[in-house]
Chains A and B, each alone.
Chain A
Amino acid sequence: MWAFGPEPLGDRAGYVLAIAVTAVATLFCAAMVLHVDLANLVMVYLVGITYVATRTKPRPAILASFLSVATFDFCFVHPSGTFAVADIQYVFTFAVMLVVSLLISTLTVRLREQSQAHSEAAFSARVEQLRSDLLSTVSHDLRTPLASIEGSADALLAQPELTDESRGLASTIQDQSLRMARLIRNLLDMTRVQGQIDLDLDWQSLDELAANAILRTANLFDRPVTLAAPHDLPPIKVDGVLIEQVLVNFLENAARHAGRDAEVAVVLSVEGEEIVARVSDDGPGIAPGMGERIFERFQGTRGAGAGLGLAICRAAIVAHAGRIAAMNRPSGGAEFMFALPRSEVGSNASD
């Protein structure tokens, strides 16, 4: 494969190149004409045209094609010095030469465009990969010291001789490091759902995921969150960890906006061809005019959760070809919902 210039030459430089290359090809042919058959001289011109095509836009390459045919005729085909052609077979040679050279120039130009598009795509994929690698490395590197801080505070709290004041300080360290761990988890999830998500799809029971989400957020609420689901809720093929995280984020959002003593309910249902999850609270509801923007990054929070939680939810649900929405309930309070398409039971053995 020949090398392409990074950018084709500009129009004027392209035409100059076309003329110069044709001239060089003609000089070369003039030197060779006594030793080489005329038909083979055509090849020299074709090399020149190919070179022009690799360096220029289509028009100069086409010019080189016509110019080559003309000079070949004028300089070498009998009677030379005129455009007249004595032997009719050279008309055929000209036609073939023109067609081949036009073909070469268009194909070369297209090849270069493809190769450029390809390298641009490869470049942006690499940038995306780097960005996501960087974030996940940073998150991972942050998480390890954080686990040590959290554990050390835990070990400190286990010391019996601790004063009340020291105990208070140690539990602050512990609480805040857990909070920071949550923020880092959000960051990691965001890089995951923003990049090329590699969904770990498997059959899951949505009620189990919801129950886990409720357990994981139990320390945020004074009143237990309720869960209602039909007994025959069918399993659904999703990335369980990600969907559980969506429910956790909904619940964390409810705790943040409706408060610790909010009445929060998770309701699961089958509606037509969808399985639907709703998380509702009795808090102040969503600010008017917020609408869909609540799912954008750094919206819908008051700085407490880095503003990523709901954006992660949307990206995760979209990746599952589902719907996500937030609304105010007629009776007051907010409701966040997502709907996932029911999964077909496929070639699963024994089903």
Chain B
Amino acid sequence: MPVTEPIRIVIIEDEASIRRFLRAGLPTGEVDWHEAENAAEGVRLVAQKNPHVVLLDLGLPDRDGLEVLRELREWTDVPVIILTARGQERDKVAALDGGADDYVTKPFSLGELMARVRVAVRHGSRMESIVDPIFRSDGLTIDFSARQVWVDGSEVRLTPTEYRLLALLAQHAGKVVTHRQLLKEVWGPGFEDSTHTLRVHMGSIRQKVDPDPTRPRFIRTETGVGYRLMVG
């Protein structure tokens, strides 16, 4: 995406001090920043500003954040990043399965948030364009048309299931994909609870493409939530 216009962000967060440090810390010029302190105002602002990304706090005073997400999803595909706390893994999963694009866990750093925002914007704008037939990130290359995978130039042999899992993560590169989403996409409806199978296949993929678990290059485990293919 050509970086001509700043990223328009609407944040829906009741905590003024959090809005304030984000406003102060995010790169001015790169970001066009709009704030709402409750759900009603937030939904109105999203309709009015047509942002590239929405940052949504799950603990709002007037309404449940998940409910706000559901309402937004009735009329807009705008990428939504959830602001949440550790220990709320079920909420994270519920938000992601309910149409959120990603989440950051408080306390988060500005760098982390901006990285998530950029990924979400990239995915948001790609929806209208054609999906790139070749995925390249760091040393990982995936040719979606030939169904081939290379790591640092040498081809990696994956089983069809392993390939589909990795390709799915690559299509959502930079974003977390929940266990449920992976199972549903790769195995089909009715297999959403087969996490045992998923673990076995993911273990096998990691051994082939990401053999040093203490220094994962491509695949990150988000415990209790899902997997994320990192972007270089």
Contact = CB atoms under 8 A, between A and B. Distances in A.
Nearest to A148: B17
Given A147-B106, A151-B22, A208-B221, A203 B214 contact: no
A214 interface: yes
Contacts of B194: 348-351
B18 A151 contact: yes
Contacts of B86: 185
B25 A203 contact: no
Nearest to B215: A224
B85 interface: yes
Given A155-B21, A235-B196, A350-B194, A144 B15 contact: yes
Contact of A203 (B191, B195, B223): B195
Interface string A158-178: 100000000000000000011
A64 interface: no
A46 interface: no
Contact of B15 (A148, A208, A226, A235): A148
B214 A214 contact: yes
8 contacts: A143-B85, A148-B15, A192-B87, A203-B196, A207-B213, A209-B223, A215-B216, A351-B197
Interface residues of A, number: 49
Nearest to B213: A211
A108 to B, nearest CB: 46
A233 B25 CA distance: 44
A324 B113 CA distance: 37
Contacts of B203: 205, 207-208, 233, 235
Contacts of A100: none
A244 B25 contact: no
B12 interface: no
A277 interface: no
Contacts of A148: 15, 17-18, 20-21
B107 interface: yes
A142 to B, nearest CB: 11
B18 A350 contact: no
Interface string B188-232: 001101111111101100110000011110000101100000000
B89 interface: yes
Contacts of A177: 107
Nearest to B14: A144
A147 B86 CA distance: 12
Interface string A195-224: 000001011110111111011000000001
Contacts of A225: 214
Most A CB contacts (10 A, CB to CB) among B86, B214, B216 go to B214
Nearest to A216: B223
A154 B223 contact: no
A242 to B, nearest CB: 9
B193 A349 contact: yes
A351 B115 CA distance: 37
B23 to A, nearest CB: 9
B159 interface: no
Given A143-B106, A200-B224, A208-B206, 10 more contacts: A145-B17, A155-B110, A158-B110, A192-B87, A205-B203, A208-B213, A208-B223, A227-B214, A235-B200, A348-B193
A208 B18 CA distance: 32
B50 interface: no
A188 interface: yes
B193 A151 contact: no
Given A211-B216, A349-B193, A350-B191, A140 B85 contact: yes
B24 interface: yes
Interface in B1-25: 15, 17-18, 20-22, 24-25
A201 B18 CA distance: 33
B18 A188 contact: no
A298 to B, nearest CB: 23
